[in-house]
């Protein structure tokens, strides 16, 4: 599908939407959404590994009505497809994260708001249904982190999703080449009241510079212990790829873990999440719930 034809062709799948977005968006913004770390090996593996799984279907089961509904942390969702936290939605849509929250509500599934959103949580969560969770990075200033947690509780978040695979920022060469930063008028809105909403414009990645200046780089299980004690909400740990790490997270209080490699945007050549998932399931057992993201493009992946 050529860029000129993109708006006139039916959009039938995720790949169609990606091609249409490439044609419509500024390159800097599209590359931020689509790109991965270094050679993007893990980025490609994430999607290709799902397609290598074969579905041995059953026949003559007598099954009529199909019900895909399930639960996450005891709350009902219509299907096992959830909205993972992603940053900077206003790069693509003027309504930003509020539009994504409304879409998740309409689909009756989980919405997770990124702490790096362009709209403040207090404005997004009223648009979302239930369940609605808040994704968190640990900042160098623990007071900043605690205030985010307390605001999330007050705004109606029902769980805190702690991202643990980004103590340092992956080298995303597309962002470096594009000198990626937020355009004028957009901020990290959840952090604006705390004086950390602006992203520097500079050669290379302004986002990487923001992370180096603000995120705690020496995360440990003591940080997970602290967070579990600091909030009344269940804590979900996002970004594990090893079974032993996942089990320790559960033993330190996590109610769920997300098998994730940050979409192949952090450590390139990390295993695809499809490959890591069985090891995590075996190690964790029934200690906590397990979710997975990365490379899911079709219903057949689910």
Closest CA to 179 of 149, 153, 154, 209: 209
Give the global pTM.
0.94
pLDDT digits (tens, 9 = 90+) for 59-109: 998 888 889 999 999 999 999 999 999 999 999 999 999 999 999 999 999
Judge whether 262 counts as a catalytic residue: yes
Catalytic residue among 8, 89, 262, 279: 262
pLDDT value at residue 203: 87
CA distance 283 to 295: 23
Phi, psi of 280 (to 5 degrees): -70, -45
Which CATH fold would you assign to the domain 25-53+67-301?
TIM Barrel (3.20.20)
Q: Sketch the domain layout of the chain as residue ranges.
A: 25-53+67-301
Which pLDDT score is estimated for 70? 98
């Amino acid at each position: 599908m050529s860029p000129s034809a993109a708006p006139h062709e039916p959009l039938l799948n995720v790949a169609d939407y990606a091609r249409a977005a490439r044609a419509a968006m500024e390159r800097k913004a599209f590359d931020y959404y689509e790109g991965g770390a270094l050679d993007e090996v893990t980025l490609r593996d994430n999607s290709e590994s799902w397609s290598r799984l074969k579905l041995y279907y059953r026949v003559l089961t007598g099954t009529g009505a199909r019900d895909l509904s399930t639960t996450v942390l005891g709350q009902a969702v219509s299907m096992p497809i959830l909205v993972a936290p992603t940053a900077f939605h206003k790069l693509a849509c003027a309504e930003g994260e509020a539009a994504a929250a409304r879409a998740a509500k309409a689909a009756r599934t989980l919405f997770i708001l990124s702490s790096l959103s362009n709209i403040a949580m207090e404005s997004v969560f009223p648009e979302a249904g239930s369940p609605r969770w808040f994704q968190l990075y640990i900042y160098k200033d623990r007071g900043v982190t605690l205030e985010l947690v307390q605001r999330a509780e007050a705004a109606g978040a029902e769980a805190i999703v702690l991202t643990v695979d980004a103590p340092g920022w992956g080298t995303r060469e597309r962002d470096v080449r594009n000198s990626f930063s937020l355009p004028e008028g957009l901020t990290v809105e959840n952090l604006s009241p705390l004086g950390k909403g602006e992203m520097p414009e500079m050669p290379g990645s302004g986002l990487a510079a923001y992370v180096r200046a603000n995120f705690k780089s020496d995360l440990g299980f003591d940080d997970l212990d602290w967070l579990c004690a600091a909030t009344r909400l269940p804590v979900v740990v996002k970004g594990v790829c090893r079974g032993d790490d996942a089990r320790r997270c559960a033993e330190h209080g996590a109610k769920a873990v997300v098998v994730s490699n940050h979409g192949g945007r952090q450590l390139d050549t990390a295993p695809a999440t499809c490959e890591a998932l069985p090891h995590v399931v075996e190690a964790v057992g029934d200690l906590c719930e397990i979710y997975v993201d990365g490379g899911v493009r079709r219903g057949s992946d689910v």
